[in-house]
Amino acid sequence: MRRTVFFISDSTGVTAETIGHSILAQFDGIDFDAHRLPFVDDPEKAAAAALRIKTAYAKSGEKPIVVNTMADQALCNVVASSGALMIDLFAPFMGQLEQELGTKRSGAVNRSHGLIDTSRYDRRIDATNYALTHDDGMSTKFDDADVILVGVSRSGKTPTCLYMALQYGVKAANYPLTDDDLEAEQLPSFLREQRSRLFALNIDAERLAQIRSERRPNSRYASLEQARWELGRAQHMFLAHHIPQINTTHLSIEEIASRILSHLGLERDMF
């Protein structure tokens, strides 16, 4: 079964998409054909969006689903005239919140015209630069790091560090355990000094070999034996030094990052 869904917003549409995805993912066996309609912030754009939705309705014969975060009620009405099932993400909560907070909400349409918090932006950019210059053992000066990820090559360190930087403004460094480290089963001294900020990434050997194979097929590096040997040695080191760890095999980047920040009590850049 297939359904068309539109994520519509007066801003980027990221919120509509994120929560719309979470809601629709709870319905098994339905294939959603998803479209994003961002920056719908005037009557003309709303009319164009309604036309597009109406056309999809006529073509499929099935009522499209519209996940909506537009703040302006007049624009919502234009889109609703398409006959779609409207999921208005904000509407159900506004009355309750206005009453509890004792204030009316402001016209939220303005948010799409770029009132951003420059210091938050700067912090995220700084953190991204930090992640880039402290990636893959490039620098081992970790004094400014909020967290240092350790693990074998291709265990997910780099994307996790970049995600934590871009999303949360957290300064995340990473260090890949080298053959020498693993051979000696010895954590380098510049890591031992930072133990409270270390976090280890673990991964299943089969998955690691698969990931490495896409990079260097049929190499010793990509073999299951090598993966098992490295992961076993790394595991000993993590346990010996009581480094908290997470197995990344079945987790998304968001989940890995979220678990690490939660464990380390790093809650940044939320407001």
Looking at residues 3 to 22 of the shown chain, list those that interact with a second copy (rule: CB under 8 A).
3, 7, 11-15, 17-19, 21-22
Size of the site for a second copy (CB under 8 A): 82
- 156 has binding-site annotation: yes
Candidates 73, 96, 189, 218; binder of a second copy (CB under 8 A) is: 96
DSSP code per residue over 225-263? HHHHHHHHHHHHHHHHTT--EEE-TT--HHHHHHHHHHH
Check binding of 57 to a second copy (CB under 8 A).
no
- Residues 61-90, mask of contacts with a second copy (x by CB under 8 A): --x-x---x-x-------------x-x-xx
Residue among 214, 217, 220, 242 that touches a second copy (CB under 8 A): 214
| Residues 6 or more apart in contact with residue 53 via CB below 8 angstroms | 6, 64, 66, 79, 82, 83, 84
Helix H, strand E, coil C: the string for 26-42 is CCCCCEEEEEEECCCCC
**Tokens, residue 41:** 């912030």
Residue 25 engages a second copy in binding (rule: CB under 8 A): yes
231 scored as a contact of a second copy (CB under 8 A): no
Binder of a second copy out of 153, 158, 213, 226 (CB under 8 A) = 158
Q: Does 138 bind a second copy (CB under 8 A)?
A: no
Strands ordered across the beta sheet of 198-202? 172-176, 147-151, 198-202, 245-247
